[in-house]
Amino acid sequence: MSCLTSPLRLAAPAARGWLAAAVLGSLLALGVSAAAALEPPASKVVLTLTGKVASHNGPDGTAVFDIGLLERLPRHSFMTKTPWYAKPRKFSGVLLRDLLEAVGSAPARLNATALNDYRVEIPAEDIAHGYAMIAFLLDDQPMSVRDKGPLVIIYPFDDKPELRNAVHYSRAIWQLRSLDIQ
């Protein structure tokens, strides 16, 4: 990988962002995982991944994300009603399967923990099917802790009626702070 870092060090600061994007694009075209290029966060860490993390950027083999790093992953949105909002709301964020791919992990069982230490297990099937998403926007606005943010795991309850049950509602953990990949 040293051959990839030297052009970045030699480039002028203004060109580094463009050059880094070009290098990442080339790596992806060659089939190299995006996990190989996981960058360090530039601002406050909002999510920590532990466990089976192949590509890490944090202490002790963890992968840490700020909102900016999450925004770089493929974004998805859907409208859905939930038991805690009276009307349908638009949730935008990243699918859990895309997040796991970014850290070099296949869909796996996750142990999710909230800011208040609420914990829930999310099975690999929910991730593999693309049902579970980490939302960082609610109605196109960042979520404060008061609004159940900054991160919420949410399911498309309106699009998938089979998900409208107590089990999946309990997996829709708000104020998410960490995921342990099993």
Task: Decide the pairing of beta strands 85-95 and 110-114.
Answer: unpaired
The per-residue pLDDT for 38 is 85
pTM of the model: 0.78
Please check whether residue 102 is in contact with residue 179, taking contact to mean a CB–CB distance below 8 angstroms: no
The per-residue pLDDT for 37 is 56
Q: How far apart are CA 7 and CA 110, in angstroms?
A: 37
The per-residue pLDDT for 86 is 83
- Region 112-135: mean pLDDT is 96
- In order of 51, 59, 140, 150, the CA distances from 136 in angstroms are 23, 24, 9, 6
Domain-by-domain residue ranges, the chain? 1-32, 35-181
Of 182, 175, 51, residue with least CA distance to 118? 175
Answer yes or no: is pLDDT of 149 > 80: yes
The per-residue pLDDT for 4 is 33
CATH top-level class for 35-181?
Answer: alpha beta
* 53-91 tens-digit pLDDT: 999 999 899 999 999 999 999 999 999 999 998 899 999
